[in-house]
A and B are shown apart, each in its own frame.
Chain A
Amino acid sequence: MNDLIANWTRKDLISIEPLSREEIDTIHQLAARFKKLLATDPDALPSLKGANVLNLFIEPSTRTRIAFEIAAKRLGADVTLVEKAASSLVKGESLRDTAQVVEALQSDVVILRHSAAGSPFYLSRILHVPVINAGDGAHEHPTQALLDTFTMKEKFGGNLEGKKVTILGDILFSRVARSNIYALQKLGATVTLSGPATLVPDEFTKLGVEVDLNLKSALADADAVMLLRIQHERQTSTHFPSLGEYKSMYGLNQERAAWLKPEAIIMHPGPVNRGVELDSSLADSERSTILQQVANGVFNRMAVIYLCLAACGKIKELSQ
């Protein structure tokens, strides 16, 4: 473990954008070790017994919240959940006050899900303990990109160099897309974005990706296609005519999947709108990595929690 800990100095994980390739690889290597230990020798996992993990979920989430909770519990940490509906945040308490309460309650790490982009940076400026971003508005969702690229590495023999990944759908409002763009590029893959023009602005090319609104050519030479959920809860009503039109133009079905290379994989961060962006027959097929992604999400989040706690000396403190 110590070899990997030595490669990680960040207190927080807020975005993929500033990370080096080595840092991403470090997280992946630790996640891989955790995955192996859990399968072979769970007792040999390092222990975070005595550590308090706070899941601060100001925006609703199910799978990310549960994955973080399981990740923390697998390492023996205690987990407390604070959700907006059940907290003083609905009484108008500010994020600053919430943060100070968190600190006073002696949480050791805060996992923040928030609808406002940049809010984890705000929190990390106030808190001394690690802040891990579980998704902030349309900004980033770093652990999702870590588990996605981890899954791709597993599928592609450990290396993403030269691979082509097409991300399809609602890119404009997607933090998953942004984090994956950065992670994939750092790991040597190239990224193509596709979807309706209103959800895939050309401006994205300035991030070094290709924008190709023609679905057929965008899929043709992809090694992986990553679908994004069409987000009803965000303001997409003015961005495309209807779910039916979306499905007819961009929904991935058997016919369009035939445009892909035979070995190309189909990914989705979930939850899937079955029959809209992805047909069930594909979501549940051999080509789909959806459940593998979910499982890998736990190991990657274990690794992130562990590394951030190590970087601020908490691991050493717990072992004493």
Chain B
Amino acid sequence: MSNLLWIQNGRVIDPSNNRDAIGDVFAKDGIIVNSLTDDEKQAAEVVDATGLVVSPGLVDIHVHLREPGQTHKEDIASGTRAAAAGGFTTIVCMPNTSPVGDNPGTIRRINDSITRNAVVKVYPTGCLTVGMAGEQLAPMGSLKKEGIVAVTDDGLCVQSNEIMRRAVEYARMFDLPVMDHCQDASMTRGSVMNEGYWSLRLGLKGWPSAAEDMIIARNVVLSRHFDAHIHMQHVSSAYGVDIIRRAKKRGIRVSGEATPHHLFFTDENCKDYDTLFKMNPPLRTEEDRQAIIEGVLDGSLDIIATDHAPHTEDEKDCEFDNAPFGIIGMETALAASLEILVHSGKCDLSFLLARLTHKPAEILNLPAGTLSTGANADVTIFDPDMAWTVDPARFSGKSTNCPWNGMSLRGKILRTIVDGKTVWDGHQIINT
């Protein structure tokens, strides 16, 4: 007997097909189909989506799953559960694990664990350089054979322009996009928050936007000269957005992502030395935040990605200077993005969903983010207006380092479907 699914009467929004209408979605054996026969409809699992949005499963191309080596923070099992609870059916994990993903063995081990433990689809990335040390190219060809979808030293940034130049040239051979965490390390030594009024007032070491802009500009130059696709991760600075905007106008192959937290918060949130607001790159000024929003709206920043970065409560429970950078984001991403972009009237639902579905999939050439006939039946069903209070203790991931803690947000994931099977039913993970 086939596996049959009939999602009825939802507002189906599939930006990849310019579809936004009330209707049904059908799946057979994990694949989207045009319709089912009457007999099949009789046998199908029926999901009533009346009053709800039916979207392609969300795609997050920037996630830290911490496996191997840091599984006290998160692992592939828990991280993919967090993804499912957040409506993500496809995620891309970063290689700054322990050991780092700079060798085929580690990538194979990650893929083995994905096969055994993941409840959503996970694609690993590989390192740009050996040991993420920025000195010697990682064996990208061998890593690609193991299934990586991009290369990045995320968390660190290749400082040498020569190495970065060779890295993007070499990656191009394998059609591997290069994702870069843009940070001039010489300008950020010991820095823990954005440099500006708040860092002065709090007496914390400031981190200038210029340190990010410098590398964004460097990458634009490299992309221009060596015809490489470079993707700027978690852009946080206003001028950085502008550099990308102008590069795109000139046809240079760069792309950029915005995180929900840089859309939502500013450096003023650090005023109580709350380590839940310590991340890399740091929260910046209101002017920067507005520029990130503008960048998403005008397409300078192509997509939204979370930079989901789990750390334990103990690790975050310390002096601001000593806390690790990063916050979790997958279980709040849709609601937080809805608040800033859709409920505020800045864009419509379809526009936002494009940035969470087919556009991120296209950046890394992933088979995801669409409800086209023949596509994988990865579907997310949500109520964009349902209010809920963020309680990280009830999250599905291992860590609770969530800056939206206690806030009321609108937009609740009610069902997450991977290959035609429900993995999240709005309350709990369904592990089949």
Residue positions of A touching B, CB distance < 8 A: 94-96, 114-119, 121-122, 136-140, 172, 175, 178, 201, 203-204, 206-207, 235
Contact = CB atoms under 8 A, between A and B. Distances in A.
A136 B203 contact: yes
A118 B318 contact: no
A206 B203 contact: no
Interface stretch (B189-197, B222-230, B245-253): B189-197
B190 A137 contact: no
A118 B320 contact: yes
Given A95-B318, A138-B204, 16 more contacts: A94-B317, A116-B321, A116-B322, A117-B273, A117-B320, A118-B273, A118-B320, A121-B273, A122-B318, A136-B203, A137-B203, A137-B204, A139-B203, A203-B200, A206-B197, A206-B200
A118 B204 CA distance: 9
B196 A116 contact: no
Contacts of B322: 116
B52 to A, nearest CB: 42
B319 A235 contact: no
A107 B319 CA distance: 21
Q: Which 4 A-B pairs have the closest CB atoms?
A: A139-B203, A118-B273, A138-B203, A116-B319
Interface size class of B (residues with CB under 8 A): 10 to 19
B214 to A, nearest CB: 16
B318 A94 contact: yes
Contacts of A140: 203
A204 B200 contact: yes
Contacts of B221: none
Contacts of B273: 117-118, 121-122
A119 B319 contact: yes
13 contacts: A95-B319, A96-B318, A116-B319, A116-B320, A117-B202, A117-B203, A118-B273, A121-B272, A137-B321, A138-B203, A203-B197, A206-B197, A235-B189
A172 B204 CA distance: 10
A58 to B, nearest CB: 9
Contacts of B317: 94, 96
Nearest to A175: B203
A213 B202 CA distance: 23
Contacts of A206: 197, 200
A124 to B, nearest CB: 11
Interface string B162-196: 00000000000000000000000000011000001
Main DSSP-derived SS at the B contact region: loop
Contacts of A175: 203
B143 to A, nearest CB: 36
A178 B319 contact: no
B201 interface: yes
Contacts of B200: 172, 201, 203-204, 206-207
A206 B203 CA distance: 14
Given A117-B203, A121-B273, A235 B190 contact: yes
A95 B314 CA distance: 11
B196 A203 contact: yes
Interface in B319-343: 319-322
Contacts of B204: 117-118, 137-139
B384 to A, nearest CB: 37
Contacts of A207: 200-201
B267 to A, nearest CB: 12
Counting chain A CB atoms within 10 Å of each CB, which of B200, B204, B319, B322 scores highest? B319
A277 to B, nearest CB: 20
Nearest to B190: A235
Nearest to B317: A96
A121 B271 CA distance: 11
A118 B205 CA distance: 12
Nearest to A201: B200
Counting chain A CB atoms within 10 Å of each CB, which of B197, B203, B318 scores highest? B203
A223 B285 CA distance: 36
Nearest to A137: B203
Nearest to B199: A203
A136 B205 CA distance: 13
B321 to A, nearest CB: 4
Contacts of B189: 235
A118 B190 contact: no
Given A94-B318, A96-B317, A118 B202 contact: yes
Nearest to A174: B203
A116 B205 CA distance: 10
Given A116-B320, A117-B273, A178 B203 contact: yes
Contacts of A95: 318-319
Contacts of B190: 235
A181 to B, nearest CB: 10
Interface string B65-100: 000000000000000000000000000000000000
Interface in B297-326: 317-322
A275 B172 CA distance: 59
B321 A117 contact: yes
Interface in B329-371: none
A191 to B, nearest CB: 14
A178 B201 CA distance: 8
Interface in B213-253: none
A260 B63 CA distance: 60
A183 to B, nearest CB: 15
A122 B319 contact: yes
A139 B196 CA distance: 14
Nearest to A123: B319
Nearest to B319: A116
Nearest to B196: A203
Nearest to A17: B201
A95 B202 CA distance: 19
Contacts of A235: 189-190
A183 B273 CA distance: 22
A59 B352 CA distance: 49
A137 B189 CA distance: 16
A172 B197 CA distance: 12
Contacts of B319: 95, 114, 116, 118-119, 122
A134 to B, nearest CB: 14
Nearest to B189: A235
A188 to B, nearest CB: 21
B122 to A, nearest CB: 34
A235 B189 CA distance: 10
A121 B320 CA distance: 11
Nearest to A114: B319
